[in-house]
Amino acid sequence: MGRAATVCLPRVRPAACLDRGCAGRQKTSEGKSRIMRYRLRTLLIVLAATVGIALAVAAIVVVREQGEMVRDAYCLDWASVAIVQHINDNEGRYPADWNDLKPAFVKATASDQSFSFEEVQARVIIDFRIDLSAPPDSTDRFVWVRSGRGVSWNSPEPNERILSRLKVRMR
């Protein structure tokens, strides 16, 4: 007997794919597009999270630094007030050291003990080697903060407060 003839029918493509080419290529293209959108979305999320964390850290650093600047300014102010108090209480004599300054500090801060003597001492440098035999001038620095920050409340500036009192003493 004879063999049956095999008829090969062409594949039928979906109507939507006829204008784009084969169906296989369409699936691959959609898959790549979906993967690219997922990667882009993930990248944007990671980028947003990184920026958010960086901003939070920066805010914490700025707030902490501001707090330190305020504490430095107050301690500098209290040190200059204590020096002026010492000059007033000791017949115009400038303090010789921190121990010499402590009673004047306690007296000056009796109504406001926000800062301890130890904190002021830790934050402020006082030049105890001031030579009062020569008249002081505006270039003299009597007090400054250890951190090196240029802070003060400007009412008056601590070195000006001390200078002003020493000029009155010299008259």
Residue-wise pLDDT for 97-122, tens only, equals 999 999 999 999 999 889 999 999 99
Secondary structure (H, E, C), 73-140: HHHHHHHHHHHHHHHHHCCCCCCCCHHHHHHHHHHHCCCCCCCCHHHHHHHEEECCCCCCCCCCCCCC
pLDDT category of residue 126 using cuts at 50, 70 and 90: very high
- Helix axis angle for 158-170 and 23-89, nearest 10°, is 10
Give dist(CA 25, CA 17) in Å, integer.
Answer: 9
Predicted local distance difference test score (pLDDT) of residue 14? 53
Predicted local distance difference test score (pLDDT) of residue 25? 47
Task: Render the burial of 69-90: b for 16+ CB within 10 Å, e for the rest.
Answer: eebbbbbbbbbbbbbbbbbeee
Average pLDDT for residues 118-134, to the nearest whole number? Answer: 91
Q: Containing H/E element for 29?
A: helix 23-89
Q: Looking at the predicted structure, is the pLDDT value of residue 24 above 50?
A: no
Tell me what percent of the residues of the chain surpass a pLDDT of 90. Answer: 49
143 vs 135, higher pLDDT: 143
Predicted local distance difference test score (pLDDT) of residue 79? 95
Q: Looking at the predicted structure, is the pLDDT value of residue 15 above 80?
A: no
Predicted local distance difference test score (pLDDT) of residue 150? 81
Domain residue spans in the chain?
Answer: 69-170
- Per the structure block, which two tokens stand in for 64? 């902490």
pLDDT category of residue 4 using cuts at 50, 70 and 90: low
Give dist(CA 31, CA 74) in Å, integer.
Answer: 65
Give dist(CA 127, CA 142) in Å, integer.
Answer: 5
DSSP-derived secondary structure letter, 1: -
Express each pLDDT in 55-95 by its tens digit: 999 999 888 888 899 999 999 999 999 999 999 999 889 99
Give dist(CA 80, CA 126) in Å, integer.
Answer: 9
Task: Render the burial of 10-29: b for 16+ CB within 10 Å, e for the rest.
Answer: eeeeeeeeeeeeeeeeeeee
- Please tell me whether the overall predicted TM-score, pTM, comes out greater than 0.75 for this model: no
